[in-house]
Amino acid sequence: MPKTSPLVLDAMIVTGNTKAAIKAAGGGSSDLWTVPPDQIHYDPRDNVRPLDHDRVRHLAELMKANGYDRKKPLGCFVRKVGGEDRIFVYEGQHRYHAALLAIKEGGFAKDKEIDRLPCVIDESKSVNRVNLIYAGITNNDGEKLTPLQLAEKVIELQELGEPNASICKRLNITDQTIRDVQLLANAPAALHKLVREKVVSSTLAIEEIRAHGANKALERLQNAAQQVKAGGKAKVTKKTLDTPAPHKIADVQAKQLLQALQAVLHDPLFGKLSPGTIAGVHAALTPHADMLDTVPTKRTKYPVHAADEEGRCRAVDKVLSPPSKRTKDRMAEITLGQPQEGVWIYGTMYAIGSSYASSPLRLYERARTFPTRMQAIQEAARSLLKQLDSPHAKKQKDLPVVTGWLEELLRAPDPDWTEELALAAAKQRMDEPAPLTEKVKGKRAPLHPATAWPFPTGARG
């Protein structure tokens, strides 16, 4: 039988008179008792966890900058010691020691000096060791702000005009902490979702953003989240990220492949492909017919309106973006004109939050024209995406709705595309070098993340 040591029990508390103790300490009361800090006593046995000196140091610096927060009084009781009634702290020991340390060191901001501490003193009949233990456990069951919550508040303080130096001083944090939480605050909303759902820790998210950039970090963390979920786990760790993922197509790539194959199916020149290719496309898409977008097969005839003397054209069609979920307003539009049969031009407008721009529907000497309506729409979409790739526009919350819509337009098939147009376009590509803006290190630019979810349905919005 193992040898054991006898359990040492604390002596029974002999409670004292509250008013007598307050009077003897020179305290007073308003809504709370207020007591000079040096008249409050401390016994480590009255607190459920040991004193953390780093925590005391942190709180002392906060008190020097901000004073003592009266909304957080100390929890105290009165103990009879040597015939005297003395006030002992049992809840808020770190605040109590921080106040003593701040007073000892000095250096308070103006009007932030501490001369008394607010106290709530328990009634003597409720004070016993059992109740102190219960209170100590439950009252310490709190959580600090997560880095993401801190990030949101730091950004809000900055928007209110607070300089970083003041934020650092009043929160006792470093410039590096501000830089880290800003990285997290400016990350995509999908990454925030992973953090809020505790799939990814804030610390790991910040490390990934710092190492790979926000978009690449999101891709890595989403892939890792799918990997751990498939393994029956819920949380992504550094070890998960360091483990090579199996070569599987994720939902994001699956949707993009499905949409690309659908565009082939609905291309007007689909019938010109070899029989084997046609059969392969049909075989691949038939099981997923209910997931495909419906594409009209009937071509619409649009009127022709010649331009006036100044080149202005009447609109014959307008393509609108989805509405904002917050304001219900349409945030962007593409206006189309057909000044001659088979000659199309476009105008654009967007108004997303405080970001706004527009271009007129006008035919002028150097204006580009397009042989089909869809070609004009897609060039307008490219123009809008380029305009929206600005620091101011990127701050607008509804931007992903608009960019997702524009990317959908860029993948849409062209019902008016003909073999003659295809041959003419091919000849033009052979005669003219591709613009540098269309090359990204020899690779095709990736699709915008907003286009990758959810899967398409059979109905268009």
Q: Rounded to an integer, what distance in angstroms lies between the CA atom of residue 383 and that of residue 349?
A: 11
pLDDT of residue 100: 96
Helices 189-196 and 202-212, axial angle in degrees (round to 10): 150
Q: Are 35 and 117 in contact (CB under 8 A)?
A: yes
Q: Which of 51, 49, 52, 40 is nearest to 100 (CA)?
A: 40
3-state secondary structure 159-179: HCCCCHHHHHHHHCCCHHHHH
Structure-token pair, residue 405: 């819509």
By the 10 Å C-beta count (0-12 exposed, 13-18 middle, 19+ buried), 260 is classed as exposed
* Closest residue by Cα to residue 41 from 137, 119, 108, 124: 119
Question: Look-up: residue for tokens 């609109």?
Answer: 315
How many residues in total does the chain contain? 461
pLDDT of residue 10: 55
Tens of each residue's pLDDT in the chain, 461 residues: 444 445 445 567 788 888 888 888 888 765 589 999 999 999 988 887 788 899 999 999 999 999 999 889 999 999 999 999 999 999 999 999 999 999 999 989 888 999 999 999 988 888 888 788 777 777 765 656 788 888 888 887 888 788 888 888 888 889 898 888 888 888 888 999 999 888 999 889 999 998 888 888 998 899 888 888 887 888 998 887 876 655 666 666 777 777 777 777 767 677 677 777 777 777 777 777 666 665 555 567 889 888 888 888 889 999 999 988 778 888 899 999 999 898 999 999 998 887 788 888 888 777 788 999 999 999 999 999 998 888 888 778 888 889 989 988 888 888 887 777 777 776 776 666 544 444 444 444 444 444 444 444 444 33
Pairing of strands 117-121, 74-81: parallel
Q: Three-state DSSP class for 102?
A: helix
- Measure the CA dihedral 31/34/40/42, to 10°: 40
Q: Please name the residues in contact with 366: beta carbons below 8 A apart, sequence gap of 6 or more.
A: none
User: What H or E segment, with its residue span, contains residue 351?
Assistant: strand 343-352
pLDDT of residue 101: 96
Maximum CA extent, the chain: 107
CB atoms within 10 A of CB 87: 23
DSSP tally for the chain: helices H, then strands E: 17, 10
Q: What is the pTM of this model?
A: 0.43
Neighbours of 64 (CB within 10 A): 22
DSSP structural state of residue 395 = T
Question: Which residue(s) pair with 320 in the sheet?
Answer: 333
Helices marked H in 107-213 — which ranges?
Answer: 129-139, 147-159, 164-171, 175-185, 189-196, 202-212
Sequential DSSP letters for 322-390: PBPTTT--B-EEEEEEEEETTEEEEEEEEEETTEEEEE--B--TT---BSSHHHHHHHHHHHHHHHH-S
Q: What is the rounded distance in angstroms from the CA atom of residue 125 to the CA atom of residue 14? A: 10
